[in-house]
Chains A and B, each alone.
Chain A
Amino acid sequence: MSMLDSLAAGLALVGNLEAFLALAGGIAIGVIGGAIPGMSATMAVALTLPFTFAMQPITGILLLLGVYKGGIFGGSIPAILIKTPGTPASSATVLDGYPMAERGEAGRALGMSLWASCTADLVSNLALILVAGWLASFALSFGPPEFFTLILFSLTIIAGVSGDSLLRGALSAMLGLLLATVGLDLVYGTNRFTFGDPSLMGGLNFIAVLIGLFAIPEVLAMVWHPTGHLGKARKLGHNRVTLADYRRSFVSILRGSFIGVFLGSIPGIGAAPSAFLAYSEARRKSPNRANFGKGEIEGVAAAEAGNNGVAGATLIPLLALGVPGDVITAIIIGAFMVHGLQPGPMMFIMNVDIIYGLFLGLLISSVFLLIIGSVAIRGFRYVADVPRRLLVPVVLILCIYGVYAVNNNVFDVGVMFAMGWVGFLMMRCHVPAAPFLIAFILGPLLEDNFRQAMLMSGSDPSILVRGPITWFFWALTVITVVAILRSGLKSRRDAAPSGTPDPSPRS
């Protein structure tokens, strides 16, 4: 079959109302699911999966992909409006999105989030269609040593999201690393810091930690000081994103999309680190660097581009190698298997019509996301106008509900509240929460890959510099660390003549 024939066959598969409805319905489910705190994109996809068993393969898969893409965007809505990432991938969006909402610019932040998401989505889909084969073979050269160096480099993000004090950021990251060690040891299977409690054997639930760290401190702050928010110009989310905003952030969006595509095509990383990396790269390169973390629209754009850039690209290892790139695609692979489809190189020969059908469906999905997303924003942005005394209790209920629903486990709700107090104390001591989260995500990956590398080589550390990919990331890490040290020294020199550095206002 020629390419045109395949394209026609694919078109025949998706060119019907059912497929379009599935895609649109999926995106709508995803946006709503993602927008509910605690109900992450992963869970929305998991809940939709059983319904696809009875559908045509392509319809079912498009439905799931729609939920995935919608969910990753939808997560940014509560991240911006109520400082609660709806899905882990939108944690980085909180950093600038929430300050914007506080300033009364919720509509603008949401609009930018949607545009950035759709742009990144399109880039990601095009990457999947055009360079899947090449990226997939590249992804296969990523073993534990390469992963280790990539993640080591990614830890430098911490400097980018630490705010004014690198020391406080490092402290926060260290706490995150420490808590991430709870659970079963990967290599020996022994208990670590479980104190004999079976509930701790699975480690601390990520969603519970995430919500505890971001949303609960806001609730506690409200209880602590019920009238503290009065007088702040938080209301009226009616302002919109402008073309000028988009043009100004375009480079960051594009860079974020490429970071997303790159990290998405490597199995095992996922959208959250990608969003943080895109954010910190945007901050490093932006002329408005100083404004990052205080409500910079470019920060929202970069973070959202970073996480949506992953969505299409995670299908690269899935379709080209049959390897799921993250938790969500691991669920989606189940839908393939129930229909007797086996993703991998052979699928490009045996079921080429389905592959092209998926490609076409994905391209349409970016447009659907734009339409459904704008409708959702129109509905949700009024949340910004809800008086805080009403909003905060509702948020609290949603958080408890959401965290319980992740694993049907009351223990997780306890973890959320405990982390809420930790987050509250951190907030009062001006210790930023983002480094904690990054360390909590990346710490276990770093440790596991290091130990796997050591197992591979029989504890010979030279495996960590075994090839060009590792050299590249080592070099990148060294350059970044040097740059961080230099800018740190420079700011200290600058600050020294004017006396004490100004107290960090971030909270």
Chain B
Amino acid sequence: MKLQRIGALGALSMIAFANVAQAEYPERPVNMVIPYGAGGATDISARLIAEPLGTAVGKPLVMANITGAGGATGSVSVQNASPDGYTMLFARVGSHTVSPAMKATLPYTLDDFRFVTVYEINPVACAVNARSDIETMDDLIAKAKSEGVSYSSSGVGTLLHIAAAMVLNEFGIEDPTTSATHIPQKGGGGAATAVLNGTADMVCTNSSTLASFVKNGQLRPLLVTTEEPIPGFDAPTAVELGKPALTQLVGWTGIAGPDDLPDEVVEKWGGWMETATSDAEFRDALTANGSIIELMSPAEAQEFIQTQYETFRGLVDKLGMRVEG
């Protein structure tokens, strides 16, 4: 409630600059659910866009973190909300493509949501401890085939979990669920720490999470999944390594509502997002984080997410990674 009030206050001040209030949507403040904790990548991204977005919307955006169960708790709260466009969700790769692909018991599916945009893409990088003797992907695969490797993640059904499995699989490890050990941690920070302190051999996660460790010479990047190299990461791209399929493996942040969101609401969001993402301050802040701003229209976002979901779903079925019960 406190959160909402402060969000409301911040946004109220923005109304002053907005156009004359219209009788149509939105007539009142819009609740924006962030399904992950404060200070995390989703939270920061959401709060950075909230400022220019609030101006574009013309009504306060009430930001609320509803956390738990890897983003599921917050997602469920929007799934069950009325589809009037006054309750929207900051959806993320973990909560909306990886988890639905992996978890049979998830209380929602991708079809329960209608996406209005994807605005941020996070490249994924794989890294090992800088003190290890693994210098390249080939070294890693050789080790996986001889003595086996372990990888850390921020939990079952997260991007980190499927990323490592997908990378290993692409590089010829037929059955990464048995020949590589998954050591889940609680939280994304813990996953990188686990590689630092020797608990796990490898981690694949957002390049922004790894950037400081790479820059500090604590972790050694082996691969990035973008087509272009990432500044600061002295590692080959997936395309250079001849694995273009891995370019599917990126993180993203988008905005979604319940599945029967009316078309006019979706259209409005498309327009607002165009205005919001052209804000220079927002662009600077988000790219400083290592993210790529890539605005997708509602239709593009829906297609992008569906494709990624199907890729992950296919992989999960092939490797038998689906979590039942």
Contacts and interface: CB of A to CB of B under 8 A. Distances in A.
A184 B68 CA distance: 10
A347 B67 CA distance: 31
Contact of B40 (A330, A335, A448): A330
Interface stretch (A19-27, A85-93, A316-324): A316-324
A337 interface: yes
A347 B217 CA distance: 12
Contact of B155 (A189, A191, A339, A405): A189
Nearest to B288: A340
A224 to B, nearest CB: 30
Contacts of A345: 216-218
Nearest to A405: B1
Interface string A6-48: 0000000000000000000000000000000001001101110
A202 B75 CA distance: 12
B218 A408 contact: no
Interface in A442-466: 448, 452, 455-456, 458
A354 to B, nearest CB: 14
B73 A140 contact: no
A324 B189 contact: yes
Interface string A327-346: 10011111101111011111
Contacts of B150: 455-456
B10 interface: yes
B81 interface: no
B199 A322 contact: no
Interface stretch (A141-149, A276-284, A291-299): A141-149
B186 interface: yes
Contacts of B3: 43, 46-47, 405, 408
A455 B200 CA distance: 10
Nearest to A50: B47
A382 interface: no
A53 B49 CA distance: 12
Nearest to A139: B197
A407 B35 CA distance: 10
B289 to A, nearest CB: 6
A140 B196 contact: yes
Interface in B27-79: 37-40, 43-44, 47-48, 64-70, 72-73, 76-77
A332 B189 CA distance: 13
Contacts of B4: 408
B58 to A, nearest CB: 20
A82 to B, nearest CB: 19
B285 interface: yes
Given A188-B323, A452-B183, A322 B69 contact: no
B79 to A, nearest CB: 9
A339 B182 CA distance: 33
Contacts of B155: 184, 186, 189
B254 interface: no
Given A184-B69, A342-B211, A327 B107 contact: no
A333 B182 CA distance: 26
B1 A401 contact: yes
Contacts of A337: 44, 208, 212, 288-289
Contacts of A199: 73
Contacts of B40: 330, 334
Most A CB contacts (10 A, CB to CB) among B1, B103, B197 go to B197
A185 B69 CA distance: 10
A276 to B, nearest CB: 20
A183 B189 CA distance: 21
A47 B73 contact: no
B270 interface: no
B1 A407 contact: no
B181 interface: yes
B323 A190 contact: yes
Contact of B285 (A53, A201, A323): A53
- By Cβ-Cβ distance, the 10 closest A-B pairs, closest first, are A202-B68, A189-B156, A331-B39, A46-B38, A342-B212, A201-B69, A344-B216, A334-B39, A198-B107, A202-B69
22 contacts: A39-B2, A47-B3, A47-B38, A140-B196, A184-B155, A184-B156, A191-B325, A201-B107, A202-B69, A203-B69, A322-B216, A334-B38, A337-B44, A338-B48, A339-B288, A345-B217, A405-B3, A408-B65, A409-B66, A452-B183, A452-B199, A458-B181
